[in-house]
């Protein structure tokens, strides 16, 4: 797996800089990620969970994600504002033998209080860099059609491939479609 590094990203003079770096399973990081996941679901984010999401269940999800990272199956990145983890994305590298050229972007989340500051875009760019460094030439992802991050992905050059109706339940009930995107990299 390619080496990861800490990046310092400054979005503008009016906003503080934040650091983008790979995450490890420290108790503080697990707690911060669990909080981001719970708050994202509470705000309506369709990220595989239903509201209300128990903090213990969110923490358990991240513990399993870090176990997968330890096996080289994913890279979990975070964006920090000072000492506060405000956003995360995972680069999923565990693909079938005939798909080792691609990776998937998953669990893109920014704490609702910190949205609109560029952390997600910076995380996405770093995930793309790491994917290319790991020999991947194609990325794919999906996002909810209702209140998803289509604008972010399209601005970053991802190509809309199609939509699947009634793909998942929204966190507070009711079905939503999912939009599928892809991008060539490297």
pLDDT tens readout for residues 88-130? 999 999 999 999 999 999 999 999 999 999 999 999 999 999 9
Assigned architecture for domain 7-140: 3-Layer(aba) Sandwich (3.40)
Angle at 78 between CA 171 and CA 182, to 5 degrees: 65
Predicted structure pTM score: 0.93
Spans in the chain with pLDDT lower than 70: 1-5, 9-16
Neighbouring residues of 160: CB distance < 8 A, sequence distance ≥ 6: 150, 154, 179, 180, 181
Instruction: Report the C-alpha gap between 130 and 14 in whole angstroms.
Output: 29
> What pLDDT was estimated at residue 15?
52
Instruction: Report the C-alpha gap between 2 and 6 in whole angstroms.
Output: 13
First to last CA, the chain: 16
Instruction: Report the C-alpha gap between 65 and 152 in whole angstroms.
Output: 24
Find out whether 9 and 20 touch, Cβ atoms under 8 Å.
Answer: yes
> What pLDDT was estimated at residue 7?
72
Q: What's the burial of 185, exposed, middle or buried (CB within 10 Å: 0-12/13-18/19+)?
A: middle
Lookup result for tokens 């399973």: 25
């Amino acid at each position: 797996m390619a080496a990861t590094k800490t990046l310092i990203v400054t979005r503008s003079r009016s906003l503080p800089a934040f650091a983008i770096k790979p995450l490890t399973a420290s108790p503080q990081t697990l707690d911060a990620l669990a909080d981001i996941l719970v708050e994202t679901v509470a705000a309506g984010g369709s990220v595989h969970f239903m509201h209300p999401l128990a903090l213990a269940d969110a923490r358990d999800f991240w513990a399993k994600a870090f176990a997968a990272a330890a096996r080289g199956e994913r890279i979990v990145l975070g964006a920090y504002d000072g000492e506060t983890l405000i956003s995360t994305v995972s680069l999923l590298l565990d693909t079938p033998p005939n798909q080792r050229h691609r990776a998937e972007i998953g669990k893109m989340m920014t704490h609702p209080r910190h949205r609109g500051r560029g952390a997600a875009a910076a995380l996405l760019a770093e995930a793309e860099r790491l994917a290319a460094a790991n020999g991947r030439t194609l990325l794919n992802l999906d996002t909810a059609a209702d209140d998803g991050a289509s604008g972010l992905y399209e601005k970053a050059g991802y190509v809309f491939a199609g939509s699947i109706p009634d793909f998942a339940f929204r966190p507070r009930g009711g079905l939503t479609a999912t939009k599928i995107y892809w991008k060539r990299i490297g």
